[in-house]
Structure 1
Amino acid sequence: MEKKFYHSLSVEKVLKSFETSFSGLTSSEVSERVLKYGKNLLPSRRRITLFHIILNQFLSPLIYILLAAALVALLLKEYTDAGFIFLVLVVNAVIGAFQEWKAESKATALEQMIKLQARVIRNGSMQNLDGEDLVPGDIVVLESGNKVPADLRILKENNLSAIEAILTGESVAVSKQAREMEQKEFPVGDKINMLFAGTTITTGRATGVVVSTDLQTELGKIASSLKELETGKAPLVQRMETFTRKISFIVLGACLVLGLIGYWAGISLQELFFFVVAVAVSAIPEGLPIAMTVALSIGASRMAKRNVIIRKLTAVEGLGSCTFIATDKTGTLTVDQQTAKFIVTAGLEVFQLSGEGYNGMGEITNQQDIKISNTASNDLDDLIRSVVICNEGELHLDNGSWNYAGDPIDVALLALAYKVKTSPDKILESVEKLSEVPFESERQYAAVYYREKDSNNIKIAVKGAIERIREHITEEKYEALVEEATRYAANGYRIIAVAGNTVSEILPINSLPDLQLFGFIALIDPLRAEAKPAVEECHRAGVNVAMVTGDHPATSLAIAKEVGIASHQDELITGMDLAGLTKENPGALTEILKTKRVFSRVSPQQKQLIVQALRESGHFIAVTGDGVNDAPALKTANIGVAMGYGTDVAKDTSSIIISDNNFASLVAGIEEGRFTYGNLRKIIYLLISTGAAELIAIALSLAFKLPLIFLPVQLLWLNLVTNGIQDVALAFETGEKKFMQQPPRKPDESIFNRLMISQTLISAGVISLLAFGLWYHLLNHLKWEESTARNTVLLLMVLLQNFHSMNCRSETRSIFKIPISNNYVLMLGILAAQGLHILSLHLPFMQEILSLEPVAWDTWLKLFFTASIIVVVMEVFKLFHKNIPGVRK
């Protein structure tokens, strides 16, 4: 069947296109179409098994190096070294797999959204079928509360509206009608005679013909696009890949240099080969995978306490590295509940309403800030009574909790009664409804004829579009009120005009008598209280924020201005304008992104293209979303952020879920992400500087033709007893607040920046010189036995690394300004490392394995003070580091 724009066809032509009728398809026609079109199913995502999650823990360049080192150690029968490395790999895999398995979602949501029951007319009779059994041409009957099982062209309807937020992002229900639309090219949200799979009927009834199933639905097209999209890499993954490559070359280069020095010193080739392999194994920071995984796990745990749920561990740091946030509006920046904020009466008196959402909390105050009770002015009293009488919603306080049902606008209007200290029930008890005219988009109003119970007069209450109601008002005095309503609408408010009158008779359904305009109500989905401070914090932290939404341009801009994302009209662009500008010049999008901060009425494909363009321009971008329409953008982003109340599709596609749907929680996640990255740098600083110190000390021993300062097994013990404990302990360090006053690190900035290189070289140099100096002194001046001297130097190296781990608590702050309470784990780790080494000096089997012997307490004390020199040197460095060009302060 050739592609047609079904919304632009008449009901008769649509039915003819599918060779169907209001009596539905016959059984034989259904059988033929099942063979032709298949089931109404979306492709399911293969569930990630525990085996694959565990396997993924080994897919890292650093892990590859460690595996290779372990295999070489096995071949050389260095079983202790090999066993230790394999133990590290297993522990790392267990921790990482546990985190990812815990976060893995239970099922594929796209399938579940289609698997639902549908009432279908076949063979002239009504049947209840699974949604997956629908075929194009089926006649489907829907009513309020039903989920739409396929894309439908509406054939007939009554008071029909649907929530299409999962496709368009707009929270307000869309009025639907059966009439054909002349224009062919329309965005999904503007096709008023179509219903789309996955959306929900909020009011009324409809009969429609299925025009698209499975992958041909709007929902299915999004599912298909997800397969083709490349997921953005987390910043940590990119940086660690670069870091690992550099470390690999450095270690191999250092081993080559040591090999040449050893050969020059006269060491035999076989002995030299074994020694170089042992040095390579010890020099590789094998503790880094575990420490990194622990740091990310701690970051994930801290984020969870701030309503940020991590599905992929690398996203912890990724969120902290983002340079741009493309945020949704509804439910993220706003509360996702329509709320009346202003009432303007016929006499141009303005009333302000407090409270927000679908509840009766709050008050009404006049321009003199006086609270209004049920003794309100006649205009306000008439207006509130009218919107309660002309209303199909429900709002009740039951056992301390507010329960509501019906159209969101109707529910929001019922809240007015509670805010003047009465209730909808009390108002309704005083009247008798005689006739109702339901709201339809074609009429643009709803009306109720009623009678006060203590009067025989017939009255009418009307609410709807002010321009439509204005047609039934003969008096000219309301012109100023209409102008005021236009001003509120231009600022993003939804305007509901309210009118009424005493009438002589009940008119036909499409007619209205002369009316008196009581005023209008200005509603909006209000801003979350925390949103504006959160956006301000993003700006202070150097993170750009843009709003990308399917909502109305005026509403989007109003919220953007209020929250601080935009300041003037020029920063807004609609999806239609965007399509026009990029149609002939696709490259224009990059320039548009430099000046625009509000993108309204955008399609899912446009949102995905915006994200792609931001990535290509060098940004690490985080994208928020909750609907199926957001899934392509979430997958394309470096960090996809789904809202907790959103669809499972969005959650499955994302790497982070905000459980309370609040933009402020996302900003808290950025802060925790930066803290985590700071801790990762501290861990790397400790591991690389101490590893480099060991290599330098060995090189100096070879250069001066002295015995090796450490045995291979002692090198491994150093990595275990110091780095193996203290690097993990650094992951518990409390974050430094300065991180949120700094701009994000540049996307191409290496972990080893100017500061890291400087402090690594200085600390490694000092540690190695202190260790080698003692080694040289003991052997050449004091003439100690080699084993005794090595035992003493090894203890000094343990103490040096203990002290240095405290230096690593901050790259810039003095250790004397950092409270011990910021990291009790590190303090305990230092004591544990020192205690283990002292214990090993006295245990016979450890003495044999490590060639150790007890050390006198006065010797330990001398070594203790010698080791403290590293603290003095690094404190001086921190004092003067601000003078180093290019270093972050």
Structure 2
Amino acid sequence: MANDEIDTVGTLPPTDVDVRTGLTSEQVARRRAEGRTNDVPSRASRSVRDIVRANVFTRINAILGVLLLIVLSTGSVVDGMFGLLIIANSAIGIIQETRAKRTLDQLAIVSQSQPVVRRDGTATAVAPSEVVIDEIIELGAGDQIVVDGTVVEGELLEIDESLLTGEADPVHKQPGDAVLSGSFVVSGSGAYRATKVGKDAYAAKLAEEASKFTLVHSELRSGVDKILKVITYMMVPAGVLIIYNQLFVSEQNLGSALNGMVAALVPMVPEGLVLMTSLAFAVGVIRLGRRQCLVQELPAIEGLARVDVVCADKTGTLTENGMRLAELRLLTTGAGGDETRVRDALAAMAGDDPRPNASVQAIAEAFDHDPGWTATGVAPFTSAKKWSGISYDGNGNWVLGAPDVLLDPASDDARTAEEIGAGGLRVLLLGEGDVPVDAAAAPGRVTPRALVVLEQRVRPDAADTLAYFAEQKVEVKVISGDNAVSVGAVAQSLGLPGGTRAVDARDLPDEPDALADVLEDSTTFGRVRPDQKRAMVGALQSRGHTVAMTGDGVNDVLALKDADIGVSMGSGSPATRAVAQIVLLDNSFATLPYVVGEGRRVIGNIERVSNLFLTKTVYSVLLALLVGLSGVAAQLFHFDPMPYPFLPRHVTIAAWFTIGIPAFILSLAPNNERARTGFVPRVMRFAIPSGLVIGVATFVAYALVYAGPDQTETQKIQAGTTALITLIMIALWVLAIVARPYVWWKIVLLAGSVAGYLVLFSVPFCREFFKLDPSNVAATTTAFVCGGVGIVLVEVGWWVSGRLHGEKRRLFSLPESPAGSDGS
């Protein structure tokens, strides 16, 4: 969208809308009937129709569906059992995604910012979707602009449009100026009339450009998609080669040839991989939802698993939101410095603030009387200047803000404030300026009147949370706008390394490389401006860190947007909740370890099951190629060709206990290992060697017992059984490797898988139904020998690969840690 559209000056409201009272109920009802509402569907949630379509019409289901039709055309219904996977994949995916959608929708309603509109002369908070055209909407610091409009009232109103335009500086808005949805109020107050709602609004148009709003890249999903494309291309030549071998080389009838082709192609399809990926994400959303955590972008779960630096604000994150007045310390007496006048000034300033922050609320509770002063000028608080002020007719120009900003740092009063702040208390200076607070030269020369000492309680679970991150090798950087000494005191009390060496951000270098050096060495920072928070996130990212930023104030918005993962508190400003990928609705920093743990569970388990599915794909492709090429070689060198060893029912049961059921359990199991980049190469390093071993060992076992083209039906079944036993033995060992390190339930899972196959091969009904015959001692012995050799090769390969790539290998899990580790 062109910049000239952004800068367009709006028009004043039409005559039928009274700015003071807003729309009447009748006018609202008429506009709703005309469809002129802000009813834009949430981008955080897909519709049920979209979920059904996405889970039914998949590449996997399409491939399996075609193969199912081919098998059914031969009349072999039993061999079409793999078609049940289409139903299972679709049903499980739909059910879990629908549950996740319901969870997301319910949490999104709780988290949703509610603009305040004027209707029938009353200010009312409504859902964004209930806003209609011509609505008069009130604004205050931290509010998000929900629809496009024109300013009708403005008192030092400053709007940050950086999320839309990239311009870093807030824009001063006066009556008649246009405001755009997606921007937010930095300071001041006012009201605007809605001129564009719904899909016509600026942010709704931008939402169609995914790059503007989708900040999280999913390496898992892109990796899985890449693997599926390669597999699809591989299936075509493999299928052609197999059908050629079955029909023209082995000279089987059409039905047997087609069954052999399907048996070769079905295991190439990693049918459960996409399902397990979607399932793990969906279950993650549901689990986090139970902890009052709203995931606004699903890949954010994966992103948190990769986080190695958490940037946390002090106020509202490490400390509780609420404050109370601990002390009022007078600095001057006489000439306006008496206690009564100071108390009156504080009461007046707190009472005249339409949108008080936590500090002003604490002052208002302590000084709740009305001195009757008349305000003549206002300077709202901003994170950049660190002070606010109000001028009163005949009662002076009062300012309230940071002592180290308003005072000479070398003065006795500044030193006193710093000493108090060193105890972890928040200290504000109340002073009188010699110029009106709304003058260009404000605050002018400030005469200190009193230090307002506020007490913040450290969250009782903050220390445990920091200890968890330290144990998990995740660095925590405390980045706050408060005095550095005060921030350091809080960090030190929580045992954060480096808390005693708090850095004043006013001394930080602007050069990104130098800033990154400071950030690598320090953990605690005070007096950080909003633009510096953003720069600090960028500097950490430039050193290869994956950064999560937590915050709740309007000064955190830019840093939240630029961080790899933005985490907002539920009580935070609407703007912070809008740009964050994750919202902690319970306002508890202690929830973050569970979010990180859930991310690690998702990504770690998907990698585990990917190893299983892709190993199956590799050995299936290799076995098909070996059988097909042996047929070509048989024609060239005049020896007996071999048909494909398995029926479709064989490859179905081969996956039951080596992949299907175990993969489902492993995808939902606890896992607390920090995720690493390089998902696809790491999976391939395991799947390709393991698949090669299984494919070659199975082919060799089959070749050794194959009795030639004149074999009896019994010999044919025994040869297929031999190949199947070899395959299952090595595949079970691959499962045993993937399940490491072992805990008790994994050992039970492995034992159950082995028991499942023992039942299939020993119960007469199962042997007859699945055409299994292990009664030939020589053939079965061959299977065990080939399987044993394959197991040794896979095991050696796993240890050698770990040594070559510096990966730690463990057979058994370490003892569980108390901070949420599951020992996986």
Q: More displaced, 295-304 or 256-265? A: 256-265
Instruction: Quote the residue 2:441 is aligned against.
Output: none
Amino acid at match of 1:187: P
User: Is 1:665 paired with 2:646?
Assistant: no
CA shift for structure 1 position 709: 2.8
CA shift for structure 1 position 245: 1.6
Instruction: Quote the residue 1:241 is aligned against.
Output: 225
Amino acid at match of 2:663: D
Does the CA contact (< 8 Å) of 2:243 and 2:261 recur in 1?
A: yes
Instruction: Quote the residue 1:409 is aligned against.
Output: 359
SS at match of 2:270: coil
CA shift for structure 1 position 104: 3.5
Instruction: Quote the residue 2:40 is aligned against.
Output: 44
Instruction: Quote the residue 2:636 is aligned against.
Output: none
SS at match of 1:752: helix
Which of these residues, 848, 852, 861, is aligned with residue 772 of structure 2?
Answer: 852
Q: More displaced, 696-705 or 776-785? A: 776-785
User: Is 1:785 paired with 2:715?
Assistant: yes
How far apart, in 1, do the equivalents of 2:195 and 2:721 lie? Answer: 72
How far apart, in 2, do the equivalents of 1:652 and 1:845 lie? Answer: 60
Q: More displaced, 664-673 or 674-683? A: 664-673
User: Is 1:693 paired with 2:619?
Assistant: yes
- Percent of aligned pairs with the same residue? 17
User: Is 1:84 paired with 2:34?
Assistant: no
Instruction: Quote the residue 2:680 is aligned against.
Output: 752
> 1:234-255: CA deviations, max 9, x gaps?
3322222112122323444544
Question: Where do residues 400-549 of structure 1 align in structure 2 (5 Å cutoff)?
Answer: 408-413=358-363, 435-437=371-373, 442=378, 444=389, 465=400, 480-481=412-413, 484-485=416-417, 495-497=428-430, 519-523=450-454
> 1:744-797: CA deviations, max 9, x gaps?
41xxx3x332x5334323333443455445444545699983323433543454
Count of matched residue pairs: 718
How far apart, in 2, do the equivalents of 1:267 and 1:858 lie? Answer: 28
Which of these residues, 238, 253, 269, is aligned with residue 284 of structure 1?
Answer: 269
User: Is 1:809 paired with 2:739?
Assistant: yes
Question: Where do residues 293-312 of structure 1 align in structure 2 (5 Å cutoff)?
Answer: 293-300=278-285, 303=288, 308-310=293-295
Question: Where do residues 754-773 of structure 1 align in structure 2 (5 Å cutoff)?
Answer: 755-773=682-700
Instruction: Quote the residue 2:386 is aligned against.
Output: none
Amino acid at match of 2:41: R
Query: Residues 333 and 85 (structure 1 numbering): CA distance in 2 closer, same or farther, change over 3 Å?
Result: same
How far apart, in 2, do the equivalents of 1:23 and 1:669 lie? Answer: 45
Q: More displaced, 332-341 or 551-560? A: 551-560
Question: Where do residues 95-244 of structure 1 align in structure 2 (5 Å cutoff)?
Answer: 95-105=95-105, 113-114=114-115, 116-118=117-119, 120=121, 135=134, 154=153, 187=170, 212-215=193-196, 222=203, 225-230=206-211, 231-232=213-214, 233-244=217-228
Question: Where do residues 795-806 of structure 1 align in structure 2 (5 Å cutoff)?
Answer: 795-806=725-736
Does the CA contact (< 8 Å) of 1:709 and 1:790 recur in 2?
A: yes
Query: Residues 566 and 273 (structure 1 numbering): CA distance in 2 closer, same or farther, change over 3 Å?
Result: farther
SS at match of 1:336: strand
CA shift for structure 1 position 731: 1.7
> 1:575-614: CA deviations, max 9, x gaps?
xxxxxxxxxxxxx9x99997898984469xx98x999999
CA shift for structure 1 position 851: 0.9
Structure (1 or 2) with the larger CA radius of gyration: 1
Question: Where do residues 719-730 of structure 1 align in structure 2 (5 Å cutoff)?
Answer: 719-730=655-666
Query: Residues 521 and 49 (structure 1 numbering): CA distance in 2 closer, same or farther, change over 3 Å?
Result: same
Query: Residues 479 and 556 (structure 1 numbering): CA distance in 2 closer, same or farther, change over 3 Å?
Result: closer
Query: Residues 525 and 617 (structure 1 numbering): CA distance in 2 closer, same or farther, change over 3 Å?
Result: same
How far apart, in 1, do the equivalents of 2:370 and 2:118 lie? Answer: 36
Query: Residues 285 and 788 (structure 1 numbering): CA distance in 2 closer, same or farther, change over 3 Å?
Result: same
SS at match of 1:521: strand
How far apart, in 2, do the equivalents of 1:559 and 1:66 lie? Answer: 61
> 1:437-496: CA deviations, max 9, x gaps?
47776594799x9xxxxxxxxxx999864899xx9xxxx9x9622565599999996523
Does the CA contact (< 8 Å) of 1:733 and 1:809 recur in 2?
A: no
Which of these residues, 793, 800, 805, is aligned with residue 880 of structure 1?
Answer: 800
CA shift for structure 1 position 847: 3.9
> 1:731-752: CA deviations, max 9, x gaps?
2443254x27xxx41xxx3x33
Does the CA contact (< 8 Å) of 1:40 and 1:135 recur in 2?
A: no
How far apart, in 2, do the equivalents of 1:848 and 1:213 lie? Answer: 74
How far apart, in 1, do the equivalents of 2:280 and 2:22 lie? Answer: 63
Instruction: Quote the residue 2:382 is aligned against.
Output: none
Instruction: Quote the residue 1:55 is aligned against.
Output: 53
CA shift for structure 1 position 54: 1.9
How far apart, in 2, do the equivalents of 1:221 and 1:339 lie? Answer: 41
Query: Residues 496 and 800 (structure 1 numbering): CA distance in 2 closer, same or farther, change over 3 Å?
Result: same
How far apart, in 1, do the equivalents of 2:140 and 2:308 lie? Answer: 45
Query: Residues 52 and 610 (structure 1 numbering): CA distance in 2 closer, same or farther, change over 3 Å?
Result: farther
User: Is 1:93 paired with 2:93?
Assistant: yes
How far apart, in 2, do the equivalents of 1:336 and 1:790 lie? Answer: 69
Does the CA contact (< 8 Å) of 1:386 and 1:461 recur in 2?
A: no
CA shift for structure 1 position 802: 2.9
CA shift for structure 1 position 652: 7.6
Does the CA contact (< 8 Å) of 1:95 and 1:293 recur in 2?
A: no
Does the CA contact (< 8 Å) of 2:627 and 2:642 recur in 1?
A: yes
Does the CA contact (< 8 Å) of 1:693 and 1:765 recur in 2?
A: yes
Query: Residues 112 and 261 (structure 1 numbering): CA distance in 2 closer, same or farther, change over 3 Å?
Result: same
Does the CA contact (< 8 Å) of 1:392 and 1:410 recur in 2?
A: no
Does the CA contact (< 8 Å) of 2:310 and 2:474 recur in 1?
A: yes
Question: Where do residues 552-631 of structure 1 align in structure 2 (5 Å cutoff)?
Answer: 568-569=505-506, 571=508, 600-601=529-530
How far apart, in 1, do the equivalents of 2:249 and 2:139 lie? Answer: 89
Does the CA contact (< 8 Å) of 2:97 and 2:279 recur in 1?
A: no
How far apart, in 2, do the equivalents of 1:560 and 1:215 lie? Answer: 49
